[in-house]
Structure 1
Amino acid sequence: MADTIYTTSKNAIALVTGGSRGLGRSTVLHLAKRGVRSIFTYHSNRAAADEVVAAVAAEGGRAIALPLDAGKVSTFDAFVDTLRAALRELGTDRLDFLVNNAGTSHHDAIAQTTEEALDALYNVHFKGVFFLTQKLLPILRDGGRIVNISSGLTRFALPNSAPYASMKGAVEVFTRYLAKELGARGIAANTVAPGAIQTDFSGGVVRDNPELNRFVADNTALGRAGLPDDIGPLIASLLAEDNRWINGQRIEASGGMFI
């Protein structure tokens, strides 16, 4: 049994997938406030990624942006090679933390969902998470931590959400098994399940559609839709030494939606 717990010190390094926008961006920035360096991925928007790197630098921190298609498992070996080079640039060969955040949206009824659409969701939200985590286990430190991002939709059901929510449900089960299997290495794994958040996810619908925004607010105990900075600090705190004994848990951050 590993007995060393690595803290969020200035020597710690996190890999955050999908870190150029939304929840991933907030996570990278709040890790920087805690002295954690990040390597984060982006899909195609290099300019947005560069903005995050600059914002971290303004906090006196360090971040490196790497391109990754989180749904193409065939590219993961090459990505890990690039990641290893980035780690060497930071003076190490190990990760302390992994945050599987990258994702895509999908809204369609079960009856209308195509095989192609379901496969695309599966590739990004489950297959990609599974195999990227698998390939990173050799370079994740004993005593490290994993946070996988799920959704409030695994607890409550809304129209046209079944395919997306089903993939997130699989991630939650996977996370519990990670916690069990990696416990011997002292690695903790947890899931964060956000509620409706005002980002550009799903075309910015929660943020930009007043009717939907009011619906979310009316059904949330705290009376509003969530913001990225409601989630980023939570993810960062789960990686902190103070929360070392939380393991195998689903933590919903929805402001009390549908309770």
Structure 2
Amino acid sequence: MRVAVVVGGSSGIGQAAAVELARRGAGVIVTYSGNPAGAKDTVAAVEREGGTAVAFRLDVGRTEEFPAFREQVVSVLREKWQRETFDYLVNSAGFGGMAMFEDVTEELFDRFLRVLLKGPYFLTQTLVPLLTDGGAIVNVSSSSALPTGSADVGYTAYAAMKGGLNVWSRMLAKELAVRGIRVNTVSPGPTRTRLADADGVVGFDAYPEVIPILAGQTALGRLGEPGDVGVAIAALLGDESRWITAQNVEVSGGFGL
């Protein structure tokens, strides 16, 4: 059985990716930070698919937690799957929100940096010795950081970190190619997730008036759902994408076309 580590798997895109990977026969290790109930829901959803999952708490913004998390991964791989390595890594933890340039504080900037760029960078560095040769990584970015993306106001800090994630992913694909490890990025457009609100409100449900506006700006005529992105992540990790690496795939339903 193949095993995936899904970072930020307690809701939204990470949760959808974990469940889709389970449907495809993978065992799943998911992490959560402030949403333990959501992590339990993910594990239950995986088990309903006939799969196996475990959940561990991890704050991606705190690199000092990474060595202990690595040891948790090592232990559970041996105990539950009789493995020394895992096959897939999904970096999907994060938070959203906007702030006008003049209102971005160093504290907010550093929080974006820790969670959206520094965290994935050093967590991947910590875990990649356990990633099997021929494995795959998918990092979750944002259409706001694409050269063709919409340059909306209020996203200078957020999009800057996602842009850094995109460049890092491409460079990492080159370095890990010697081990046959593929690295790709998905860039969702507006998606119905908790990340739509930096204060932790359940996303667009708190702002229903925004949904028809965004749907009207999307070629396929609706807001994205976590499952739309989760299935793309699973496909990029799978053998059907074995010749795809260093790519950034926009998964937005044609937002802004």
Same fold (TM > 0.5) = yes
Consecutive unaligned residues of structure 1, counting only runs of 5 or more, are 1-10
Q: Which position in structure 2 is the counterpart of 1:164?
A: 158
Query: Secondary structure of the equivalent of 2:202?
Result: helix
1:220 aligns with 2:218: yes
1:197 aligns with 2:195: no
Consecutive unaligned residues of structure 2, counting only runs of 5 or more, are none
Q: Which position in structure 1 is the counterpart of 2:235?
A: 237
Shift of 1:82: 1.1
1:17 aligns with 2:31: no
Shift of 1:44: 2.6
Q: Which position in structure 1 is the counterpart of 2:127?
A: 136
* Matched letter for residue 103 of structure 2: Q
Going from structure 1 to structure 2, the CA distance change for 1:205 and 1:52 (only over 3 Å counts) comes to: closer
Q: Which position in structure 2 is the counterpart of 1:101?
A: 92
How many angstroms apart in 1 are the aligned matches of 2:245 and 2:137? 9
Query: Secondary structure of the equivalent of 2:28?
Result: strand
Shift of 1:83: 1.2
Shift of 1:211: 2.4
Equivalent residue for 1:183, pick from 160, 164, 177? 177
Equivalent residue for 2:64, pick from 74, 82, 98? 74
* Matched letter for residue 31 of structure 2: T
After superposing on structure 2, the runs of 4+ consecutive aligned residues of structure 1 that deviate more than 6 Å are none
Shift of 1:113: 0.3
Shift of 1:205: 4.0
Shift of 1:22: 0.5
Identity %: 44
* Matched letter for residue 156 of structure 2: A
Offset from partner CA, 1:221-245 (integer Å, 9 cap, x none): 0111100111111101111111111
Matches within 5 A, 1:146-165: 146-154=137-145, 155-165=149-159
Query: Secondary structure of the equivalent of 1:117?
Result: helix
How many angstroms apart in 1 are the aligned matches of 2:209 and 2:36? 32
Q: Which position in structure 2 is the counterpart of 1:3?
A: none
Q: Is the 8 A contact 1:37 1:63 kept in 2?
A: yes
Equivalent residues, number: 249
Q: Which position in structure 1 is the counterpart of 2:20?
A: 30
Query: Secondary structure of the equivalent of 2:214?
Result: helix
- TM-score by structure 2 length? 0.94
* Matched letter for residue 45 of structure 2: A
How many angstroms apart in 2 are the aligned matches of 1:142 and 1:65? 24
RMSD of Structure 2 on Structure 1 (CA): 1.0
How many angstroms apart in 1 are the aligned matches of 2:172 and 2:245? 10
Q: Is the 8 A contact 1:106 1:163 kept in 2?
A: no
Equivalent residue for 1:251, pick from 229, 238, 249? 249
Shift of 1:158: 1.1
Going from structure 1 to structure 2, the CA distance change for 1:204 and 1:46 (only over 3 Å counts) comes to: closer
Offset from partner CA, 1:186-244 (integer Å, 9 cap, x none): 00000000000012221334344232111111110011110011111110111111111
